């Protein structure tokens, strides 16, 4: 069985976690929490980082930190993992759905401005499968209409856009360390920002707005959240982060081989490559066109029969029960890629031989 995307544990994970167990620092404060935040901020060239219990919590925290709430509208793509959209609902705001581009699978920025109303407060670009949204144009629109930009960079750690890392291209960037992500803490997330005040407020809100009085009692000035990550998981995160560049190198090397082997296959479309984007290729993805020798679902079945775990693209969220009737742009791109897309195996442990085997099966 070649899995879709599994964790890679090869560094100081055991050592750092053992240190937490040996010293009893297993809960939500400790040196690894501080160090993981510090190193993650440094890696991404961000001023502040706030660790959270998962990526969904990081997104919710980003929204509350920026004061987005009841009745505010947030523009988000329909082709995403539902967490992006649910986080908007959790704060009482209203998701407004925008289409994705066929050749990148990410937010079609040309359709954003038509969705803006006086209630719009933010845009949430999602860098699906690692590919970054066209951020210069999106930031221009956001600035013109005085909107916040919260990047859902959960799938795009290490991706660069015009030399800048995903997650640092808007007001706040959010990451996930779920088991299938580039680095993992089992479950976890991170919020980053270049606005130190925003970073401080996010940290404060993530810890139940706790302050300590002179005699050592806990005081809470506002309703906060317990979004903290335990030290024991931060220890794992720090160890994973130490190897992130090596992981990225393998992802990109394997993606290049996939591209070389699949580029001339009739009926298979590959993601757009442009010189100012360095995709982290979190999940290597293809589209199955009508002129391929079998349907997308037949290809998924064939891969499964051969012990290869592949996955169809996300289904459009605007078309799921909790979001029926939401305001949307036209959705041609979303419907098309959602029907045609496949994520292929992309683990860091995936070998070049396995990539060749997968491509041979696709080529028949
Ligand atoms: C696009 C996207 N947004 C949000 C999330 C939420 O992250 P988590 O599962 O860590 O809550 C994920 C990943 O699972 C995701 O892929």
In tens, the pLDDT along 128-144 reads 999 999 999 999 999 99
Q: Which atom of ligand 1 is nearest to the CA of 54?
A: 10
Question: Which residue ranges have their beta carbon within 6 Å of ligand 1?
Answer: 54-56, 80-81, 83-84, 126, 152, 154-155, 176, 178, 189
Q: Residues with Cβ < 8 Å from 95, sequence gap 6 or more?
A: 73, 74, 75, 76, 85, 88, 89, 317, 323, 326
| pLDDT score recorded for residue 331 | 98
Report the 10 Å Cβ neighbour count for 223.
9
Alpha-helical segments (H) within the chain: 13-23, 31-43, 55-65, 82-90, 135-144, 196-206, 231-241, 244-262, 296-305, 332-340, 352-363
The single-letter DSSP state of residue 107 is: B
| pLDDT score recorded for residue 181 | 98
Where does residue 267 rank: exposed (0-12), middle (13-18), buried (19+ CB within 10 A)?
Answer: middle
User: Which residue's alpha carbon is at the smallest distance from atom 1 of ligand 1?
Assistant: 81
Half-sphere exposure of 111 (CA within 13 A, CB side): 23
How far away, in angstroms, is 183 Cα from ligand 1 center?
Answer: 13
In tens, the pLDDT along 242-265 reads 999 999 999 999 999 999 999 999
How far away, in angstroms, is 83 Cα from ligand 1 center?
Answer: 6
Which token pair is 256? 């290049």
First to last CA, the chain: 19
Among 338, 280, 315, smallest CA distance to 131 is for 280
Confidence of residue 167 (pLDDT cuts 50, 70, 90): very high
Cα Dmax for the chain: 74
User: Which residue's alpha carbon is at the smallest distance from atom 8 of ligand 1?
Assistant: 55
The single-letter DSSP state of residue 308 is: B
| pLDDT score recorded for residue 136 | 98
Span 330-342, mean pLDDT? 98
User: Which residue's alpha carbon is at the smallest distance from atom 16 of ligand 1?
Assistant: 81
Confidence of residue 218 (pLDDT cuts 50, 70, 90): very high
| pLDDT score recorded for residue 185 | 98
Q: Which atom of ligand 1 is nearest to the CA of 188?
A: 10
5, 74, 83, 126: residue to mutate for ligand 1 pocket, most atoms within 8 A of CB: 83
DSSP H or E stretch at residue 50: strand 48-52
Q: Considering the chain, what percentage of its residues have pLDDT values greater than 70?
A: 100
What Rg do the C-alpha atoms of the chain give, in angstroms? 21
Among 30, 95, 35, 25, smallest CA distance to 60 is for 95
Q: Using CA atoms of 84, 90, 91, 95 in order, give the dihedral in degrees to the nearest 10.
A: 50
Confidence of residue 209 (pLDDT cuts 50, 70, 90): very high
How far away, in angstroms, is 20 Cα from ligand 1 center?
Answer: 27
Distances in whole angstroms, Cα of residue 200 to Cα of each of 5, 47, 314? 34, 11, 34
User: Which residue's alpha carbon is at the smallest distance from atom 10 of ligand 1?
Assistant: 55
Confidence of residue 150 (pLDDT cuts 50, 70, 90): very high
Which token pair is 308? 């290869």
Span 209-216, mean pLDDT? 98
Average pLDDT, the chain: 98
- Is the whole model's pTM more than 0.85, yes or no? yes
Confidence of residue 72 (pLDDT cuts 50, 70, 90): very high
- Pair 156, 166: CB distance under 8 Å: yes
Confidence of residue 179 (pLDDT cuts 50, 70, 90): very high
d(CA 129, CA 158): 12
How far away, in angstroms, is 188 Cα from ligand 1 center?
Answer: 10
d(CA 244, CA 4): 19
In tens, the pLDDT along 344-356 reads 999 999 999 999 9
d(CA 36, CA 43): 10
d(CA 361, CA 199): 48
């Amino acid at each position: 069985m070649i899995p879709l995307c599994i964790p890679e544990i090869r560094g100081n994970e055991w050592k750092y976690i053992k240190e937490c167990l040996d010293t009893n620092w297993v809960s939500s404060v400790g040196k690894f929490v501080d160090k993981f935040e510090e190193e993650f901020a440094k890696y991404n060239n961000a001023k502040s980082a706030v660790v959270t219990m998962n990526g969904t919590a990081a997104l919710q925290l980003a929204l509350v930190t920026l004061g987005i709430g009841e009745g505010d509208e947030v523009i988000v793509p329909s082709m995403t993992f539902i967490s992006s959209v649910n986080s908007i609902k959790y704060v009482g705001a209203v998701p407004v759905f925008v289409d994705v581009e066929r050749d990148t699978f990410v937010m079609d920025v040309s359709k954003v401005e038509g969705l803006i109303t006086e209630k719009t407060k933010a845009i949430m670009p999602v860098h699906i499968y690692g590919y970054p949204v066209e951020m210069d144009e999106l930031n221009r629109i956001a600035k013109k209409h005085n909107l916040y930009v919260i990047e859902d960079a959960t799938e795009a750690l290490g991706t660069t856009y015009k030399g800048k890392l995903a997650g640092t291209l808007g007001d706040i960037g959010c990451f996930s360390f779920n088991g299938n992500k580039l680095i993992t803490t089992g479950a976890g997330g991170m919020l980053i920002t270049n606005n130190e005040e925003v970073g401080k407020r996010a940290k404060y809100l993530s810890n139940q707005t706790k302050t300590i009085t002179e005699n050592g009692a806990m005081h809470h000035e506002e309703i906060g959240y317990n979004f903290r990550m335990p030290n024991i998981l931060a220890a794992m995160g720090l160890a994973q982060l130490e190897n992130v560049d090596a992981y990225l190198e393998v992802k990109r090397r394997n993606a290049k081989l996939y591209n070389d082997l699949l580029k001339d296959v009739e009926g298979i479309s590959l993601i757009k490559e442009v010189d100012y984007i360095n995709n982290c290729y979190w999940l290597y993805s293809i589209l199955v066109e009508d002129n391929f020798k079998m349907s997308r679902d037949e290809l998924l079945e064939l891969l499964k029969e051969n012990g290869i775990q592949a996955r169809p693209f996300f289904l459009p969220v605007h078309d799921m029960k909790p979001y029926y009737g939401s305001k949307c742009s036209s959705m041609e791109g979303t419907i098309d890629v959602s029907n045609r897309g496949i994520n292929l195996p992309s683990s860091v442990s995936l070998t070049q031989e396995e990539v060749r085997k997968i491509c041979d099966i696709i080529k028949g």
